[in-house]
Amino acid sequence: MTLQNFITLFAEQFDDTEMDLFTPQTNFKQLDEWSSLVALSVISMVDEEFDKQLTGAELRNANTIEELYRIIESK
């Protein structure tokens, strides 16, 4: 999966955040809408799209969307 595709899927887990706020460098935990519930949706999306288990610790360790993408790709 390309980074761009991942960003689109990542953005789909949010309801009210503008699409153009999602870039590789977006510090996603700073977004107003970020919450523990959105975190669970991201984990669920990664499971579905990559068939990989993204742990809570891995999610905590990533700051930008690109960092998160690299973590998943390296698994």
- Closest distance of CB 4 from other proteins, Å: 25
Residue 63, classified by CB atoms within 10 Å of its CB into exposed (0-12), middle (13-18) or buried (19+), is middle
> Which parts of this chain interact with other proteins (CB under 8 A)?
36-37, 39-40, 43-44, 47-48, 52-57, 59
- Closest distance of CB 42 from other proteins, Å: 10
| CA terminus-to-terminus distance, the chain | 13
Nearer to other proteins, 24 or 45 (CB): 45
Nearer to other proteins, 24 or 41 (CB): 41
Please say whether the beta carbons of 2 and 50 come within 8 A: no
